[in-house]
Amino acid sequence: MHSTAVHTAFITGILIHSFRLTHVIHNMDNVLALPEGLGVGIESGRWMLQLLKDILKVIGFSYNLPIAAGGFFLACISLAAGLTAELYQCKNRRTAGMIAVLFVCFPTVSATMVYNFTLIPYGIGILLSVAAVWVYAHCHCPIIWSAICIAVSLGCYQGYLPLSISMFVVILLKETVSGKEVCYILKKGMTYAAGLLLGLGMYFVCLKMLLHYYQKELSDYRGINTMGQLNHGALPDLIREIYRQFFVLPYGNTKGIVSCSPLRYAYLICILLTVLLIVLTAVQHRIRLSSLLLTVILCAVYPIAVKFIIIMGQDPYTDTLVSYASVMVPCTPLILLAEVQEMKSDFLEKIRRYGKKCAEVSVIVLIFFYIYSANLNYISVYSANRQVEGYLNNLVSQVRMTEGFTTDKERVCIGEISDPMLEFIWTEGSVYRGAASTKDFLRCYSTKFWLKNVLGYQIIFADEEKSEKVLQRPEVQQMPCWPNYGSVKVMEDVIVIKFEDAEKVSSWNQEPSDLVKAFLD
């Protein structure tokens, strides 16, 4: 394992994410997983996560602790960076160090850190997705070992399979342009494909068995219950969307990956340099026509590999959490640079030297803005947390001061919190999914869990049927909306809080969805 990459990744990871590691930050999901929990397991197809939940609960390591979970997560990514640097034979320490820092500062890492409860299984998932590629160069029976790594990685989180596929494609691309025989490369590609397919098969077999064991069914959230059921009719449109998002990154919907102009230009330069380095390497090794054709095919497959999550989910919408494979875009020119030795032609040698400088500068720009953006998001979410806590404390105080208040009365909430006076100044900093504003947190399904799990108020809410009857009362319909005077009233055995004029009660008075129940299980 490349020690420079491991040490660089872990030390810089601790420094980059130090604010998150030392502060308690919640988002709409993290407040549900308090004081312990790992989120939705088998219902989301994450059978390994389900097993980890059971194991960690037994040994007492299931608590949602930022420093413990975050440190474990960064350690896993550091090991993955070391395996990557060794896999691609990064002899230059500067190159290995840049790849390592990219691995720990990439937006997917920062976004995942906000979902603190996921860090242990997701860290394992990332490490195994890289190990699935690394074993081919270092283990006997690599297909079996790779398949096991892929199956367990998918069982932790399905979003990291594209990282394995992208790394496979880069290996094949590197060897093709370096002059290796086409038959050798095709055989190697088929071996990789066999490991991937076997891993997918093992994943689904384990999933079926554990669904039966736990007596559960897959959720329909984000198409989880249709995993593996590829709609061939939609495939052309999905592939077109993949190319659109890959080559027009600033206008894609991968939120946070290219959130400002310097990142857009840096990514564009990395893509162009990759093409340039492939051409230079092909010239250097004077590859044959068959190798040239294979190179073109691999270049065409490369964007599909990076954005393969779109095909997996059969949905053009992707977010920061499932976009970790995009880290290979800036890593690829750094990897290919090792294949381009000193050129015989002075003109080509100048291109090689300037290309190397451009690649390194582009990666430095990416690293700088990713570190900046990560901490901007952490501060944004931290500020939103403080506002939510203050706001809900004020709400509880006002309810307690209402005439006729007693602790045994049930609450009926009408609509969702919609306060025109509430302002959140950090909204522009919320570029990652999960880094929401105060209003988003107060209007989402987890608001009552802020009251219970964060503020410690054990409040009794009326059930949905009783709440609907209260909603139909004329005096309730005439009440002003929160925070106006009179928006909180005691009516017989209930306390009514009217947040907005609505035809339905708040989600506070509704039964939690099956997914939330599974989350809390």
* 192-230 pLDDT tens trace: 999 999 999 999 999 999 999 988 888 776 666 566 666
Total residues found in the chain within this entry: 521
User: What's the mean pLDDT in 328-354?
Assistant: 79
- Cα 360 from Cα 515, distance rounded (Å): 44
Q: Do residues 47 and 226 lie in contact, with contact meaning Cβ atoms separated by under 8 Å?
A: no
- Cα 165 from Cα 153, distance rounded (Å): 13
Whether residue 104 is predicted with pLDDT greater than 90 in this model: the reply is yes
**pLDDT for position 236:** 86
Q: Do residues 497 and 399 lie in contact, with contact meaning Cβ atoms separated by under 8 Å?
A: yes
**pLDDT for position 285:** 66
Q: Do residues 72 and 291 lie in contact, with contact meaning Cβ atoms separated by under 8 Å?
A: no
Lowest mean pLDDT among 132-141, 200-209, 417-426: 417-426
- Pick the residue with more confidence: 172 or 348? 172
* Count of CB atoms situated within 10 Å of the CB of 399: 17
Tokens encoding 45: 């197809």
178: CB partners within 8 A, 6+ apart: 281, 285, 339
Whether residue 297 is predicted with pLDDT greater than 60 in this model: the reply is yes
- Cα 374 from Cα 432, distance rounded (Å): 9
Residue whose token pair is 């039964």: 511
What integer best gives the mean pLDDT of the chain?
87
- Pick the residue with more confidence: 74 or 292? 74
Q: Which residues of 297-309 are buried (b: 16+ CB within 10 A; e: fewer)?
A: ebbebbbbbbbbb
| Residue 328 C-beta-side C-alpha neighbours within 13 Å | 27
* Count of CB atoms situated within 10 Å of the CB of 119: 24
105-119 pLDDT tens trace: 999 999 999 999 999
End-to-end CA distance of the chain: 38
Closest CA to 77 of 7, 151, 9, 158: 9
Widest Cα–Cα separation across the chain? 91
**pLDDT for position 142:** 93
**pLDDT for position 74:** 97
Tokens encoding 153: 């990685």
- Cα 434 from Cα 377, distance rounded (Å): 10
